Chain A
Amino acid sequence: MHFGPHLLLAALEGFVTSAVLALTALGLSLVFGVMRVVNVAHGEFFMLGAVLAWAISTAISGHPALGFLAALVLAPLIVGAIALVAERLVLRRLNYNPEATIVATIGMLYIIQQLALTFYGPEARPVEPPFSYRILLPWFGYSGYKLSIIAASAFLLLATWFVLTRTKIGLVMRATQYDSETAQAFGIPVDRVYAGVFALGAMLAAVAAVLIVPISQAHYLMGQDPLLLSFIVVIIGGLGSLRGTLVAAVLIGLSDGIISVFFSPTLAKIIATLLVAMVLVFRPQGLFGTASR
């Protein structure tokens, strides 16, 4: 294959990564933006989404699309419910103290990971894609399902954007993010907003995982990379900025896809992590964010 088509393939793979990453990172960014909680267990909610997608799609017989659709609806709901319980039982009692919540979410990370290992096992298991149509390009065939991931992710991002900027719920969330005490004084149930945002963040990660699981595989350690990449995206994009998150996700996804095709993936990760740490040290508001208030 020539360089041009090779690059196109790498770019397409990069866009698929970006699409999934944008959803996952958006969840992390919302939770941090509104609640000021760094959710280290975010990657585990992603993993739970994938593992549940496997469980649901194998439980439902018949056409693979049926099982996949059921997983797409049910897995995020279950993950959201788990996140809600965790929020009520742990985070709320800590008064959302930033340092204590990090330690607590690390605890959640270990608990979820260990339970997944115990009940799901150490194997990586595939989920059948809902359809297997291949789009034939002049140089290579490309999976139609992968392209549909990009479409689905774009739709979900638009929906989130719409909810955040055009509805009452979004207004309440933004008010809480801007100044939770004043919001409370104006009768906004800040406590319930927090619970909802935490569940929503986890659900976004779970949806992303259900979308990706037919082309990757469900595994109990799969939450580590999305967590790190989401952190990177959120930091580069500026915390709490939807547009920044999206731009950064495309940037990171594309460069990750392209660098991994041409160089060693470990080297790509080293460079990316180091660059991001430097961004955080020298430009803490992110590349696209504005200075904090």
Chain B
Amino acid sequence: MKDASPAKPYALHLGVIALLFALSFVLPDYHHGLLARIMVLAVFAMGYNMLFGYVGLLSLGHAMFFAAGLYGAGLAVIHLGWSVPTAFASGVVCGAVLSLVIGVLALRTSGVAFMIVTMMFAQVFYLVILYFASWTGGDQGMVVPQPARVLTFGATSLDLTNPIVRYMSALTLFSVVLLITLAVVRSRYGRVLVAIRENEERTKMLGYDTFSNKLAAVIMSGTICAASGAAYALLFGYVGSSFASVQYSILPLLWVLLGGGATTLGPLIGTLFMYYVVDITSGYTSAYLLIVGIALILLVLFFPKGILGTIRHRWLAWLP
């Protein structure tokens, strides 16, 4: 891999963030709201990409990390009356702890067993949410009340239900995670992760502790996903068990595959593209799962590198 000057990628990423910022003032209401949601879900995809794209570990259970953040934040607001920042922190911490536990257990396996184990842990998490329906609301879910979703700094208060505030909060989270991802990927540690993906045995032989490197990646990935879940609960005010179901473990995989695994901007592009495809087709048919299924098969058959992966392969080798 050729090491290009750091200026170009950073300029590109800051450009993307600036573009998203500018879009806030020109988009019509409907797309404005949709884009805020897409940015939060793109954070979920970026967290997934950290593990799947860079380390090559295919997890089928990331919905549990998203849901850990979602419930960690949502339940703290609903049952404990915590304020927005502490609830967000609570969601992130829940995700970090859960990913530590899951990482220690699941990383004992590899390949197909890793996929099945993560899927089963996520299923347990989902069933636990249903089992404790009196606190979690079961499959009905719960609404986070509007008065609780206000961010107060001394005298000024920001209402997260206000579209502009919501968009900017989503953009802030998205930007922070994007820049963190970029920094991690370009660091020495990021190179070690890619080395593990390409040849774990050789990396081990070169003296790297692959287990703790992978564990750190699982925790980072799980924590980012939890941050996305916590933001979703606070910004959109709904906490429900469907976000913990298998489907929400598959969706980030689809978004990352579509946008391009192991590219920093791929998750955003994949989420954006898929969200609009589903949004447009749902105007004609309710069969959006059919489109998800066909997209998965076509991608894996003909486009295993995704959109950005192909662009990088053909034209822009410096793309991070």
A107 touches B300 (CB 8 A): yes
CB distance from A120 to the nearest CB of B (A): 13
A277 in the interface (beta carbon within 8 A): yes
Q: How far is the CA of A53 from the CA of B282 in the complex (A)?
A: 31
B127 touches A269 (CB 8 A): yes
B120 touches A110 (CB 8 A): no
A100 in the interface (beta carbon within 8 A): yes
A107 touches B113 (CB 8 A): no
Q: Which of A38, A94, A103, A269 has the most chain B CB atoms inside 10 A of its CB? A: A103
B293 touches A109 (CB 8 A): yes
A102 touches B58 (CB 8 A): yes
Which A residue sits closest to B114, measured CB to CB? A280
CB distance from A240 to the nearest CB of B (A): 13
Q: How far is the CA of A277 from the CA of B299 in the complex (A)?
A: 29
User: By the criterion of a CB under 8 Å from any partner CB, how many residues of chain A are at the interface?
Assistant: 38
Q: How far is the CA of A242 from the CA of B16 in the complex (A)?
A: 55
Partner of B289, one of A114, A273, A277, A280: A114
Chain A residues with Cβ below 8 Å from B289 are: 110-111, 113-114, 117
A284 touches B113 (CB 8 A): yes
A158 in the interface (beta carbon within 8 A): no
* 4 nearest A-B residue pairs (beta carbon): A110-B293, A107-B296, A111-B293, A107-B297
Query: In chain B between 108 and 148, which residues have their CB closer than 8 angstroms to a CB of chain A?
Result: 108-109, 111-113, 115-117, 120-121, 123-124, 127-128, 130-131
Partner of A104, one of B60, B121, B297: B297
Chain B residues with Cβ below 8 Å from A108 are: 293, 297
A84-114 vs B, CB cutoff 8 Å, 1 = contact: the mask equals 0000001001100011101110111111011
Query: In chain A between 142 and 183, which residues have their CB closer than 8 angstroms to a CB of chain B?
Result: none
A274 touches B290 (CB 8 A): no
B84 in the interface (beta carbon within 8 A): no
Partner of A273, one of B108, B127, B295: B127
Chain B residues with Cβ below 8 Å from A118 are: 287, 290
Chain B residues with Cβ below 8 Å from A281 are: 105-106, 108-109, 117
Partner of A111, one of B108, B117, B290: B290
Query: In chain B between 275 and 320, which residues have their CB closer than 8 angstroms to a CB of chain A?
Result: 287, 289-290, 292-297, 299-301, 304
A38 touches B115 (CB 8 A): yes
Partner of B292, one of A110, A115, A278: A110
A252-274 vs B, CB cutoff 8 Å, 1 = contact: the mask equals 00000000000010110110011
Q: What 15 additional pairs, Cβ within 8 angstroms, besides A38-B112, A110-B292, A114-B293? A: A90-B301, A94-B300, A107-B295, A114-B289, A115-B290, A117-B289, A228-B123, A231-B116, A273-B124, A273-B127, A274-B120, A277-B117, A280-B116, A281-B109, A284-B113
Q: Is the interface of A mostly helix, strand, loop or mixed?
A: helix
Chain B interface residues toward A at CB < 8 A: 58, 60, 105-106, 108-109, 111-113, 115-117, 120-121, 123-124, 127-128, 130-131, 250, 253, 257, 287, 289-290, 292-297, 299-301, 304
Q: How far is the CA of A281 from the CA of B104 in the complex (A)?
A: 10
CB distance from B107 to the nearest CB of A (A): 9
CB distance from B296 to the nearest CB of A (A): 3
Q: How far is the CA of A90 from the CA of B117 in the complex (A)?
A: 25
B130 touches A99 (CB 8 A): no
Q: How far is the CA of A284 from the CA of B111 in the complex (A)?
A: 12
B124 touches A270 (CB 8 A): yes
CB distance from B61 to the nearest CB of A (A): 10
A280 touches B301 (CB 8 A): no
Chain B residues with Cβ below 8 Å from A228 are: 123
Q: How far is the CA of A108 from the CA of B301 in the complex (A)?
A: 13
A213-237 vs B, CB cutoff 8 Å, 1 = contact: the mask equals 0000000000000001001000100
A247 in the interface (beta carbon within 8 A): no
B297 touches A100 (CB 8 A): no
B287 touches A235 (CB 8 A): no
